[in-house]
Chains A and B, each alone.
Chain A
Amino acid sequence: MKRLGMTIDIDRCTGCGACMLACAVENNIPPAEAANDRKGLTPIRVYRIENGADYPDRRAAFIPVLCQQCGHETPCVHVCPQQAVDIDPETGVVGQMPQRCLGCRYCMAACPYHARYFNWWDPQWPAGMEQTLNPDVAPRMRGVVEKCNFCTGRRHAAAEAGKADYTPACAEACPTGAIRFVDLNAGTPQGEGHFRLLESLGTEPKIYYHSSKAWVRNQSRDRKGAVQEAHHG
């Protein structure tokens, strides 16, 4: 039995956005004309941070953020009034059942990673584009919440084909190999440079980040670190 997780090496991420694109294609995310930065569906989203120094010491880094698949007191699971969010006991993946979701968005308010998204529009594709849809993933209707599920469609397809392993679309598409899909039962990343987002909340996320740069770790780990970083320049 595997406990699925990811490692993301921030030092390798170039912010190209290939993971976001691959995710959208894999998960049948429809183009929405009026969608913007705040209403779009981006189950994986790349944030940019800067060290705040002046040229020539100015540095930037990119942090891909997706559902952190919290393993302890998972915030979204507790709050859903109709059990539309569950945790797969075999893999530890936090799943979302759109067909049971009421669209109350309480789980979105509960998620500290802002990694849940609402379908604000009816899914519509330009004529002919339906042909490109992934048959392993059902499109979601308007008015329900969705999130990253580590490409459950791929996992089911792999299982049907008798394969034990699979790779989520984002990890597959990453040109620099920054995103790696791992079995946490084989060992969790340890040592200098490894951290998880908002670890102090105690939600035990299964996405492990790495950076060799202290300023990146301080700005990413938690807000206390970011505040200290800002004070120290």
Chain B
Amino acid sequence: MDRHLISRGLNRCSTGKFALWVVPWAALLLFGLYAAGLCLVKGLNQTNMDNRFAFGLWIFLDLTVIALGAGAFFTGFLLYILKLDELRAVINSAVVVGLVCYSGAVGILAVDVGQPLRFWFTFWYPNVHSMLTEVTFCITCYLIVLCVEYLPIVLKNRKLRDVPSMLVFEYHLHKLIFVLAGVGTFLSFFHQGSLGGLYGVLRGRPFAFREGLGLWPSTFFLFILSAAAVGPSFLVLIVSLVEKLSKKHLVRPRALDVLGRISGLLLSVYVLAKTLDTLLWINRTSPERGFPAAQFYSWRPFGTWILLAEIVGFGLIPALILLTPRLRARRGWLVSAGVLACCGVALNRFVQTVQTLALPTLPFDKFLSYYPSWQETGAFLAVVAYGVLVYSFSFRYFQLFPEERELKLEAPRKEEEVECIASFS
């Protein structure tokens, strides 16, 4: 039914099969939109956040998806600025992942603030000393950049290519792509850092507060590094998952190998930096503010295991796997390391958000726990469903993997070669 919309030379499942895939996700999206609507109409009393747990599941989600979506800017940076041409095979996919992550994060933020209609106040009365101002400006600008970067992918649609003016528009957009990659990289570096800075500047929260360089606390740099490290890993996971679900060979192993190697390299630098930062915080920053660091880990379930898990289990181990060429060459190891790295960044964002708020600062106050309400969980799931739907439609109707057609043509040739060799032997 929709064959005329699918790019020439690409095989996609039937419309019925695609509809079967889409319907459950659309239902989940609708459920999530209902939950988010309740929060907008009735207020944030629908959530389980409270005066102590001012942030909850949604801020954790925002920080995590923005870190995972870093693959978009970082792949663009590697391809267009550092000229790593192997990554051309995954750049479109990276842009879609980035767009989904950033737009999802902005969408959930709109529900998370008490007065969403006042969003423009931040632009009108900006407090230049606030990290949140920096985050708001950079994320908004970068989302616009991502939308513009997404346009050439949309314009590659078979039907749109029949319109001559669209071809001209696409040609001009391509000329802009290097500028967009540069601007996107700059904005992304800043807002990834500012998201880390959000917590690092909290002087009143010794668990989160960090010393730093000039205006920026160390978490500013750690967030940039961790996002740049896991962004490529998340891209490897997405590509592998799409290959598995679609039962198609979409990119040559070389591109994934480059992504894995870069991810491993940055992850090892991050682990080293995080370790040094933690030691400095334990031995100087926290005690100087009257809080022995050990006491932060005396509240169950947040024991020292969480620190070890973050640095060793989800940092050092995936870094070593990704830095070993023999292991990286095997898809199972590559994907496992990617999963560990992504879990690590999620755990880091969880610690920054939830553990920071759970720990009391007043000596006579108590430790609190928090469980999200169904409305919060529903809105969270809506972002996941939205992401799956945008990616699924993009994969079906646009050419996300430029090598897909070549790989499809090569596959029968290889089979013929095998048959030939078999018949001669």
From B52, B55, B356, A114 is in contact (CB under 8 Å) with B52
Question: Interface 1/0s, chain B 361-395, versus A by CB < 8 A?
Answer: 11111001000000000000000000000000000
Interchain nearest-CB distance for B321 vs A (Å): 35
Who on chain A is nearest to B356 by CB?
A109
A112 near B131: Cβ-Cβ < 8 Å: no
- Binding site of B, secondary structure by majority: helix, strand, loop or mixed? loop
Judged by a CB distance under 8 angstroms, whether B241 is at the interface is no
B127 near A142: Cβ-Cβ < 8 Å: no
Which of the 9-residue segments A19-27, A115-123, A149-157, A175-183 touches chain B?
A115-123
CB within 8 Å of A: which B304-329 residues: none
From B52, B114, B122, B290, A222 is in contact (CB under 8 Å) with B290
CB within 8 Å of A: which B178-208 residues: 198, 201-206
Interchain nearest-CB distance for A20 vs B (Å): 14
With A79-B202, A108-B51, A109-B202 in contact, is A114–B362 under 8 Å at CB? Answer: yes
Judged by a CB distance under 8 angstroms, whether B54 is at the interface is yes
Which A residues are in CB contact (< 8 Å) with B119?
A: 102
CB within 8 Å of B: which A108-134 residues: 108-114, 116-122
Interchain nearest-CB distance for B346 vs A (Å): 19
Interchain nearest-CB distance for B76 vs A (Å): 27
Judged by a CB distance under 8 angstroms, whether A47 is at the interface is yes
From A81, A119, A203, B132 is in contact (CB under 8 Å) with A81
A203 near B122: Cβ-Cβ < 8 Å: no
With A65-B362, A114-B362, A197-B362 in contact, is A144–B357 under 8 Å at CB? Answer: no
In this complex, how many residues of chain A approach chain B with their Cβ under 8 Å: the count is: 59
Question: Interface 1/0s, chain B 327-359, versus A by CB < 8 A?
Answer: 000000000000000000000000000001100
B204 near A106: Cβ-Cβ < 8 Å: no
Interchain nearest-CB distance for A72 vs B (Å): 10
Which B residues are in CB contact (< 8 Å) with A121?
A: 43, 45
From B115, B131, B205, B290, A143 is in contact (CB under 8 Å) with B115
Which A residues are in CB contact (< 8 Å) with B203?
A: 73, 75, 78, 110, 112, 201-203
B368 near A113: Cβ-Cβ < 8 Å: no
CA distance A227 to B295 in the complex (A): 9
With A105-B54, A112-B361, A113-B361 in contact, is A223–B290 under 8 Å at CB? Answer: yes
Judged by a CB distance under 8 angstroms, whether A93 is at the interface is no
CA distance A108 to B51 in the complex (A): 7
> Which residues of B are interface residues toward A (Cβ below 8 A)?
43-45, 49-55, 112-115, 118-119, 121-122, 124-127, 129-133, 136, 198, 201-206, 288-292, 295, 356-357, 360-365, 368
> Which residues of A are interface residues toward B (Cβ below 8 A)?
34, 38-40, 47, 49, 63, 65, 73, 75, 78-84, 100-106, 108-114, 116-122, 141-145, 197-203, 219-227
- List of 5 A-B pairs having minimum Cβ-Cβ separation, nearest first: A103-B114, A143-B114, A200-B290, A112-B204, A226-B363
The 11 sampled A-B contact pairs (Cβ below 8 Å) are: A108-B51, A110-B205, A111-B204, A113-B361, A114-B360, A120-B45, A144-B115, A200-B288, A201-B206, A201-B290, A226-B364
